[in-house]
Structure 1
């Protein structure tokens, strides 16, 4: 869906789709990109302000968009807004579940100027998934120095102790 791609900062159309749009609308490539960016901005503002379709139509007319085009835009927004807003809310507020934990130990050896210095670092790979297991979201890589890892471990121990006391 165009609205979701735009809101997530992704390309709205593939190169082939852009060429088809360019041809269908008889626009130059630069003009098509400007049109898509403008529509993206309007949609982002509509989402941000959770604007009602009638208000969107009125605001578009206030900036000299023809009434019939503003009406079409408001109609599309009325039908798509609930779905778009729900998907955005889920993406922002839905809890994530830890799917897997991986780790690596990295040891940076001394250089000629610092002959005995070794700097160990641990890299944790935290695989996150949506709570309903519908999709794998991302891998988060976190690098820890020895002290950072010790502090993190102590915090996890405190959390575990508190969880244990609740059950």
Structure 2
């Protein structure tokens, strides 16, 4: 069986790996593995191969799995972690796919989504950077005051193409400056998805306060 989900391809090996995670790994061990993968995959920090091997060996021992089953489970989760970091996903959609398409139980699905949110909260952290060591007066919040937009067309920059490109122009007026964005259709969709992701993360954080 092979089917394409929005952010990952569902295959029989993937289902098998998810089944091992569901049936043979405790929630605590599952959480430790997922946390480790989110921390180390695409990480900019240098980790020696000896340290990585030691960490993975510890995770295997804690999981109680034999080497073959652990390798299948680890590859499955590594694939899911990598794919989840490449797409703008809603937490609810990610959780639904983990439960319905991969048949993970509710607890493990929640654990995966929790670590995913923690790994991707860099978006919120970046938005919250305001002063960079400046004075208290200059670090006041930069609030959005108004948004305006228009659509225009321009000729393609490619010499052999005379098609017109539709561009959306956004003007974001804040208390400190005016930000102008010019986006094509694909970029506008990506921008919209990113805003939805930020809203979802804000909703999660708000529910915890």
TM-score, normalised on structure 1? Answer: 0.43
Q: By percentage of residues, which structure has more strand?
A: 1
The structure with higher relative contact order (CA 8 Å, sep 6+) is 2
